[in-house]
Structures are given as C-alpha cells and as structure tokens.
Amino acid sequence: MDFSIPSKLQALLDRARTFVETELYPLEQPFFESGFNAVAEELREKRAKVKAQGMWLPQIAKEHGGLGLSLLEHGLFSAEIGRSPLGHYTFNCQAPDSGNMEILIQYGSPEQKAKYLEPLLAGDIRGCFGMTEPDYPGSNPVWMGTTAVKDGDDYVINGKKWWTTGGDGAAFCVVMTITDPTAPPHFRASQILVPTDTPGFIIETTTPFMGHRGEGWASHSEVRLDNCRVPQANLLRPEGAGFLIAQERLGPGRIHHCMRWIGVCERAFELMCKRAVDRKISPDRPLASRQFVQGWIAESRAEIDAARLMVLHAAWTIDQLGAKAARDQISLIKFTAANTMMRVVDRALQAHGGLGVTDYTPLAVFYRMERAARIYDGTDEVHKLSVAKRILRGYADKSLNI
C-alpha cells in the first residue's frame, strides 16, 4: 500500500492551494457580506486565470478539455480548492454543473452536447438539477409528482421542484419527471433538459436558507412547471432511465462533496490552531495552553485524517472497480465526512469566541451553510439505514424481513 502522492500531482495541488489562498480568500468577505453577484465579475476574471494556468475542469477527461484527473486525484484536488466556498465554482467543478457535465458526456445526444455541454465546459453558461419536490419526500425519490406527457413531438411537463441549486441565472434545468407511471418504480422517471426560458418554466422564488436567500449560483430555486413544453429530443435517453442516470451522477458526486468538506475541515482546523497560538488569555499564556483547546485540536486532527482516508479509499474503489462496488463505502463516507465537518467547524468556531460567529472569518458561513451536508445527496439516516441493512443481510437468512 503506497500513500505517497506523485510529485507531478503534488505540484498541481500546491498550485491550486496557492491560487485559492491568494486569489479567492480576498473575495470571501465581499461574498459573505454582499452576495454572489457582488463578486461575479471578479470571479469571471479568476476563472480566466484558472484556465490560463491549466487548472480548469479538473474532473473532466482531457478529450473534453479537462485535466483528466482520476476520482482519487480529483478528491485530493477538491480538498485543496474546498478550503474556500468559492473554490469549486472558480475551477468549474461546482455542483450541480459537474454532475450535469458528467451525465451529458455519457448520455447526451450530439445536439444536446453542442447546445448544453460545450458552453458548460467553457464556463459560458450554468445549469441546474431539479429532482426534489416540496410535496414529496426526497428520501423516497421514486415517489414524485412531476409528470411529462407526450404530445406530438413534445413532452408537456407539469409539477413543482424546490432546492434547485443555482436555478437563478441557469440556462437550463435537468428535470427529473415521471414519464411512465405504470412502469416498475425505478423505471418510471426520466431526465429531460428544459431551457429555463421555456414558457411554463417558472422560478417562483429563491428559498430562504439559514437567513439568506442567496443569488446566482449560490442560491436554491423553487420552480413551477406549468404545461412546460419541450421537444422529445430533449430527453436524456433512454426513456425511463432517470434513476439509473441519477445514480451515475451521485456516486462520483459524493466523493466531490466529501473531499470538499475535508477542505472545509482543513481550513477550519488551520484557523483554530492559529487562533489558539495567537490569542492570549492572560499576558503570558495563549489559548493554546489550555487542555480543552488541545483536546479539540487532537480530536479534530484524528477525525479529519480518518474521514480523509475513508473518502480517498472510496474514490480509489470507484476508480478501480466502479461505483457499484463502492456502494457501502459511499454511504459510509457521506455521513462520516459531513458530521466530521460539523464537529470540526463547531470546535474552531468555539475557539474563536465572539469572533467565531461574525462573518470576519469563514467559520460562521461554514457553520450555517454546510449544515445542509447532512441532508442533500441522501440524508444521514437513509445512508445509515441502507448500509446497515446490507451488512445485516450478511448475517441473516434470506427470508428475514429487515
């Protein structure tokens, strides 16, 4: 077992870290205080710099203009750029676009690729992904209300979506919708590309999220589809493959998220350690001299390292054997990394005292915005249940109803 990082990859990781620290950290305060649009123009310039420096689209194959990193390599890259909430967007590997790119590469028709994939890869447009619905449980995704009915050469779509991340300003939405209510549950739904300027695609509002509505990519839309008519050519083929395609995006997507969270952990950890040595609690003693704080630091280091190794191992398994073989690992890392992040950010925030709950550091923003990590891409409980059931089946007779 060799844990070393090849020198060429390490050099790329170092360059990414330096870029994030020097170019993106200074944009964080205006982003926190004034919103995404306040930094949108500067981010356009930073994205051009990333392209010029050969770090654009780390997760995408070279033939499509990316760096062609394996999932394991991209995991390491994600942890570097995840240190800033603006990191993934600037390198064009942000959710939900990274997932949309992957499914368009795999399932898009030549026309769909020309119209949606190429400008996405270039960073000229953004997309969004509409699966979750306000009136149905996202935890049971086969049960949904949105329908697409064939009419001539078109589909007519009706339904409601929410938590459509980045819907504000997106050029299109990948809408998950029932196309055959009589099919077995996992074959009822399809994914259809809906340009957001289609009549009947209505963004009703952005959802207030922990006190902020956000804007642009950093927001979540509530969408109504009201007799929204799109050509059948907009289907990601084949019809009924909506869940299969969703699974394709979720396996690698969870590695992306988990390693981004490891990046959040590392940033919070670094801030906690710096604060502990810089902050005096008496004229001759720093905060770092207190055992409470030493305990937080040792526990955080151990938990981050454990989570990091689990995520990298899951990425390695997907690279070597495919997402199906890593099913349990993906569930385990999803809730482990999310909860590790919550604990580490909480300790770092506590170590900062009153400063921790201001927006003068990224800690309060991490605390507020990343709480959702335990909810999206599968809630903690659903991941725990599914992995526990698979484990228990190995101990039980097939007839036992678990």
Give yes or no for residue 336 binding ligand FAD (CB under 6 A): no
Minimal CA–CA distance to 90: which of 168, 162, 31, 11?
Answer: 31
Mode of pairing for the β-strands spanning 280-282 and 285-286: antiparallel
Minimal CA–CA distance to 265: which of 312, 218, 313, 297?
Answer: 297
Give yes or no for residue 98 binding ligand FAD (CB under 6 A): no
Give yes or no for residue 385 binding ligand FAD (CB under 6 A): yes
Closest CB to ligand FAD belongs to which residue?
Answer: 138
Q: Max alpha carbon distance in the chain (Å)?
A: 80
Give yes or no for residue 132 binding ligand FAD (CB under 6 A): yes
> Smallest distance, Å, CB 344 to ligand FAD?
19
Give yes or no for residue 220 binding ligand FAD (CB under 6 A): yes
Task: Name residues whose C-beta falls within 8 Å of residue 46's C-beta, 6 or more positions apart in sequence.
Answer: 23, 24, 27, 90
Transcribe 30-88 into DSSP letters.
Answer: HHHHH-HHHHHHHHHHHHHHHHHTT-S-TTS-GGGTS----HHHHHHHHHHHTTSTTHH
Query: Which tokens in the block code for residue 152?
Result: 């001539």
Give yes or no for residue 361 binding ligand FAD (CB under 6 A): no
Give yes or no for residue 376 binding ligand FAD (CB under 6 A): yes
Give yes or no for residue 356 binding ligand FAD (CB under 6 A): no
> Smallest distance, Å, CB 217 to ligand FAD?
11
Give yes or no for residue 375 binding ligand FAD (CB under 6 A): yes
Selected from 96, 159, 251, 356, the binder of ligand FAD by CB under 6 A is: 96
CA atoms within 13 A on the CB side of 245: 30
Q: Which is nearer to ligand FAD, 101 or 276 (CB)?
A: 101
Q: How many residues bind ligand FAD (CB under 6 A)?
A: 19
Give yes or no for residue 130 binding ligand FAD (CB under 6 A): yes
Beta strands, E only, 196-343: 201-206, 214-215, 218-231, 280-282, 285-286
Tokens 């991941």: give the residue. Answer: 383
Give yes or no for residue 137 binding ligand FAD (CB under 6 A): yes
Selected from 105, 244, 357, 372, the binder of ligand FAD by CB under 6 A is: 372
Q: Which is nearer to ligand FAD, 175 or 288 (CB)?
A: 175
Tell me the per-residue interface mask from 139 to 168 with ligand FAD, x by CB under 6 A, - otherwise. x-----------------------xxx---
Minimal CA–CA distance to 337: which of 293, 368, 366, 303?
Answer: 303
Query: Which tokens in the block code for residue 88?
Result: 């993934």
Q: Which is nearer to ligand FAD, 222 or 226 (CB)?
A: 222
Give yes or no for residue 208 binding ligand FAD (CB under 6 A): no
Q: Which of 11-19, 29-37, 65-73, 128-136 is the region at the interface with ligand FAD (rule: CB under 6 A)?
A: 128-136
Give the per-residue SS3 of 341-361.
HHHHHHHHHHHCHHHHHCCCC
Which positions lie near ligand FAD, rule CB under 6 A? 96, 129-132, 137-139, 163-165, 220, 372, 375-376, 379, 381-382, 385
